[in-house]
Amino acid sequence: MKLFRPEEECGVFGIYGHPEAANLTYLGLYALQHRGQESCGIVSSDGTGLHAHKRMGLVADVFGNQKVFEKLPGKAAIGHVRYSTAGASVEKNVQPIMVDYSRGSIAVAHNGNLVNANLLKAELEAYGSIFQTTMDTEIIIHLLAISRTHSLVERIGDALNRVKGAYCLLFLTESRMIAVRDPHGFRPLCLGKLGDGWVVASESCALDLIEAEFVREVEPGEMLIFTKDGQMQSLFPFKKIEPTPCIFEFVYFARPDSNIFGKNVYQVRKELGRQLAREYKVDADVVIAVPDSGVPAAMGYAEEAGIPFELGLIRNHYVGRTFIEPAQSIRHFGVKIKLNPVRELLEGKRVVVIDDSIVRGTTSRKIVKMVRNAGAKEVHMRISSPPTSYPCFYGIDTPNRKELISSSHTLDEIRRYITADTLGYLSEEGLVKATGLKHSFCTACFTGEYPINFPMPSQIPQMGLFSKDEEYIEQ
């Protein structure tokens, strides 16, 4: 049984110009493990060829043998941790993808989702392309290979001008590493420096682990080229648009010690809690969090409301993604194996429970009942984000809309389903305000307003492979 949480698709890490490139990439992926737990891989370059090691499993398991690194020589490497949203969870889909084509060898690691992937794949297959994986990332490789431009940088730019969606990409060849962030800037990507080497990572916590200096974020629509002379070149090969970074990175995905989109995640989450207390205060005796992502918001809520914060739910950190349920009936087994209430803190109390989101509602229902069974007199549920009513198409694994409880139920209906005494969600305005940032965000999972429109399926047979006149409609 899986306790449902939205899952990030993946994280990427790359280093160029360091003698321990593969080892440091391993550490970087370790720091990014929260962004994907299904598979991982590293491709290194020794200046004459590319070398890969990738498998299904966690970073510590896939790279647990030191001898693995003897097969990953060189001063440059890129790595990837994956949770599948586009493409099945199978060995052939483990990234980075590494291929040989007419102009040499190249490896690619991708964080995000392409909304026109099916359309482009149908075009490419009509012209004879054969796909080895079911990932949208492979489409980028095919577009790069058929590009009529000359330099690698031009071919990458040409390919990415054909795709639409979210992407943070790392490319590695025998002599170069290239990093690209999509013009909308949906997913975070940062730049660091370690000695004479350059580092690129999905989150700054990966830089901290290897003691690299945080330089800046990779800008939306920016391409960085790293070459063997130690230089870095910055280009902006795409039409400039208003960035719309994913606001749910602040709510749940990013590690609290990371800095993304110009802000520290922990501080933003505390402010989400403070704003939630301003909007939905309640008379209570104790504030507790659903660990781990709800903890900073709960602390902020408690501070603003003047109610003590306690660790009323203890998480078992040694539970994997799957486990075997006992034959005998244990109520709420899936939640109980991961969370356990502290009865001494909850019994006879009016309890505020803080969580980051309610998706299907089943987990929240079990948590509320667990807190009541521990003796709580009242249970008040508070959510540090607005209702999640729409699926994400930009690299987050969410259910389809009919499975999202807030898409078809009122606030009071959800409250009654999860059996809470009261329920309050943070408003969209409060969410944006809590970030302290002025620019636009992607809030599609709350509002249904998608920054990138979706291609019409009927276009597939009409389009030429090199046409530039696609028309798009909103789904």
CA–CA distance, 205 with 208 (Å, rounded to integer): 5
CA–CA distance, 60 with 188 (Å, rounded to integer): 24
- 147-185 CB burial, b ≥16 within 10 A, e <16: beeeebbebbbbbbebbbbbbbbbbbbbebbbbbbbbbb
Q: How far apart are the first and last CA of the chain?
A: 32
**Tokens for 238?**
């795409």
Binding site membership for [4Fe-4S] cluster: which residues?
246, 392, 442, 445
**Contact criterion met (CB below 8 Å) for 442 and 245:** yes
Of 10, 40, 168, 190, the catalytic one is: 10
Pair type for strands 422-425 and 378-383? parallel
CA–CA distance, 268 with 270 (Å, rounded to integer): 5
> Please, which residues have CB within 8 angstroms of residue 404's CB and are 6 or more apart in sequence?
359, 360, 388, 389, 390, 391, 398
**Contact criterion met (CB below 8 Å) for 246 and 186:** yes
219 backbone dihedrals φ, ψ, rounded to 5°: -75, 150
> Please, which residues have CB within 8 angstroms of residue 306's CB and are 6 or more apart in sequence?
none
Binding site membership: which residues?
246, 293, 355-356, 392, 442, 445
**10 has catalytic annotation:** yes
Report the 10 Å Cβ neighbour count for 467. 11
Binding site membership for Mg(2+): which residues?
293, 355-356
Annotated catalytic residues are 10
